[in-house]
Structure 1
């Protein structure tokens, strides 16, 4: 998933040189990697926790609800906090809160599913604060003329994190054999409790290691010599927030972001269970987790392809084409079987590559001084990642996992409409 930030200006007492920016830029780039890794690990934990606590799909999707719900709840308070304590201290605070969220996975292994959900919310809250605070540094740590290339580099590392996480999580968390509901029900009650405790404890080591890594980054970020940032929009008259809704392309773009993030996250959340279906591939969870990495890795590869293609094709047409391909691939996954269906759903990741930045930029087109407010509205739409998986979970509980992919197919249907409607928006 892409990260966004409001415009900022650089206020420093002395000009920055290459040596003074390289170290801080490396730290910020690592942060982008960690965001991607922590977000994508949810795709491994959802089937793991579902099996441990014998949850329905709707109950299992509470993981994404708590995680992405934090974007909606924490974003505005995070902005107020950062204006009060500054960007650098804000980033350090975000890292510490995220580390606390990871550390909470240790007691959650003994405290039940509710404590896991609380840990997810705290972790995501820290990431939200971190994104609001750290994103602007990418644009100012170096020559302004190369800001776009630095953003591309950090986004590539974010995608690398989402690609590595499922395979890593599969090895560290899903390595032991998992009993299905029928096998678990045949065990005596005490053995069932011991089994669930052992499976839950599998997350303790990896997440304690992540907590330590985040705390180390917090120390490095606190010690780094970083420029002071000031919000460029502070002195600008942006107008009333309600005026934003007069821009139809922004309203539809906000819905597009909501549905895109929801569809992307929902597919990732169900991939391991989908590939475990006997008519698809019948893969064990640990083996299926490696294929989830291909879903997120496709988005990373597609960004480079999209960068080249969109130099000659309008953003709206490229968006509509990718959305149409996504729908076709999902339909193959719904009505097909075997490895054809499996590879079809994994290929949707390649189509996802350009969608977030393209929808975002099209929605902001021509808004002038209202761009900052509109950007905030679009960022709040990321809550789609909390709500759309619920809809797919409800369908999975009633019609089965395979048919539940009708939900993300419908999401991409709206994105196809948005792309076609504003196909030439940037050429007007």
Structure 2
């Protein structure tokens, strides 16, 4: 009976990996959808990513302090409640068709996700036999990949209508006709996000009724709440040259990851002439390539130095994006699908290289590398602005520049022979 309860707890914690992975990978669907429904520029539509990723920068330390006082289970429950509340807020946001309302709802969703991510990894490692902890966490992280593919496919079919008006068609409509069309477009998010909100609440109720072990040691390394020690510790950590470059590399990588996926549908529409529903299917294929790339990359690391592989993948992605910028038709879309494959190993490899040799400072150094996820909030608006000034193809030079820095970071670390990959994103 105890074993059955433990397996049930593992299943519930594993579901958290799917929940935040599904939400984050709806962004590439929401960006073109809200651009259309709220009549936005590319720069404005990119704020979907900013509202999501900024939560990962602002919330980890408050989440850690909350969990220190109320326990990790309390933090998970608060995260689920926030997540569910943000999902439900999509309903009134769609009724008033207010973009700021949508962004606020997204920020609440990902504030909840920040709590969930802070707690899920330590919980999944202690639930069960310590000998199989690594297998459990890697199994759980696979659900992030499944969530990504599912989000693109389901979101593309349920949220996107496949109908995009040209400027001439909009001009030919009366104000009432245009408003009716836009409200209908905005309303397509109502049912999916209500379902998401209900499912997350059900998980919260089940977790509330499930016994989870306390994790005392996870508070270590998170004592950054006192302003003076925070400044001192960050200053000391940034004297570690490899960590400093690693934080910057992770900042650029996550920015590139967000840019490549978020504008994929817009790119496919403009460059390959696809409608948004077909583009969403290709996006699903791209995210499946990311999942496959992680499996293939992990296998290749048994034969090839992970740092060398990171360098090869980094420069390959620069070349693929340059190809996608200057060619036309479907080939550039296939090039972007390949980019997803080759960026699959980058987050865990950069993370592991960044914290190498930190010793007792490892956990604090790790928190800085995780906070570098804020790159996903910074680079999509830059790319959106470039797109507004030029076109969506030229704008893809932004993630190309990001991958160039990842390549440089790998070259700096080529002498490293062994890398322990323990973190996934």
TM-score range, shorter chain: over 0.9
Matched, 1:419 2:410: yes
Residue 60 (structure 2) aligned to one of 75, 90, 94: 75
Alignment of 1:193-342 (within 5 A): 193-232=179-218, 234=220, 240-277=233-270, 280-342=271-333
Matched, 1:57 2:32: no
Structure 2: unaligned runs, 5 residues or longer: 225-231, 420-425
Matched, 1:152 2:143: no
In structure 2, C-alpha distance between the alignment counterparts of 1:233 and 1:188, rounded to whole Å: 60
SS state at 2:215 partner: strand
Change beyond 3 A, Cα 1:208–1:347: same
Alignment of 1:17-166 (within 5 A): 18-111=3-96, 112-166=98-152
Does the 8 Å contact 1:263/1:412 carry over to 2?
Answer: yes
Instruction: Give the TM-score taking structure 2 as reference length.
Output: 0.93
Q: How much has 1:178 moved relative to structure 2?
A: 2.7
Q: How much has 1:409 moved relative to structure 2?
A: 0.2
In structure 2, C-alpha distance between the alignment counterparts of 1:108 and 1:140, rounded to whole Å: 40
The answer to which of 128-137 and 89-98 deviates more is 128-137
Q: Equivalent residue for 1:10? A: none
Change beyond 3 A, Cα 1:116–1:224: same
In structure 2, C-alpha distance between the alignment counterparts of 1:40 and 1:342, rounded to whole Å: 18
The alignment's C-alpha RMSD in Å is: 1.8
In structure 2, C-alpha distance between the alignment counterparts of 1:185 and 1:114, rounded to whole Å: 25
Can you list the C-alpha shifts for 1:117-155, whole angstroms capped at 9, x where unaligned? 110111111111111122211111112222111111111
In structure 2, C-alpha distance between the alignment counterparts of 1:93 and 1:366, rounded to whole Å: 35
Can you list the C-alpha shifts for 1:263-295, whole angstroms capped at 9, x where unaligned? 011111111010001xx3211111111111112
Does the 8 Å contact 1:323/1:351 carry over to 2?
Answer: yes
In structure 1, C-alpha distance between the alignment counterparts of 2:120 and 2:400, rounded to whole Å: 34
In structure 1, C-alpha distance between the alignment counterparts of 2:221 and 2:311, rounded to whole Å: 38
In structure 1, C-alpha distance between the alignment counterparts of 2:15 and 2:222, rounded to whole Å: 33
Structure 1: unaligned runs, 5 residues or longer: 1-15
Change beyond 3 A, Cα 1:242–1:98: same
In structure 2, C-alpha distance between the alignment counterparts of 1:129 and 1:351, rounded to whole Å: 29
Change beyond 3 A, Cα 1:137–1:236: closer
In structure 2, C-alpha distance between the alignment counterparts of 1:213 and 1:109, rounded to whole Å: 20
Q: How much has 1:23 moved relative to structure 2?
A: 0.8
Does the 8 Å contact 2:293/2:342 carry over to 1?
Answer: yes
Equivalences, count: 411
Q: How much has 1:34 moved relative to structure 2?
A: 1.2
The answer to which of 16-25 and 74-83 deviates more is 16-25
The answer to which of 399-408 and 331-340 deviates more is 331-340
Q: Equivalent residue for 1:380? A: 371
Does the 8 Å contact 2:42/2:387 carry over to 1?
Answer: yes
Q: Equivalent residue for 1:7? A: none
Instruction: Give the TM-score taking structure 1 as reference length.
Output: 0.93
Q: How much has 1:169 moved relative to structure 2?
A: 0.4
In structure 2, C-alpha distance between the alignment counterparts of 1:285 and 1:347, rounded to whole Å: 20
Does the 8 Å contact 1:295/1:346 carry over to 2?
Answer: yes
The answer to which of 182-191 and 350-359 deviates more is 182-191
Does the 8 Å contact 1:58/1:393 carry over to 2?
Answer: yes
Task: Return structure 1 stretches of 4+ with deviation > 6 angstroms.
Answer: 235-239
Q: How much has 1:341 moved relative to structure 2?
A: 1.1
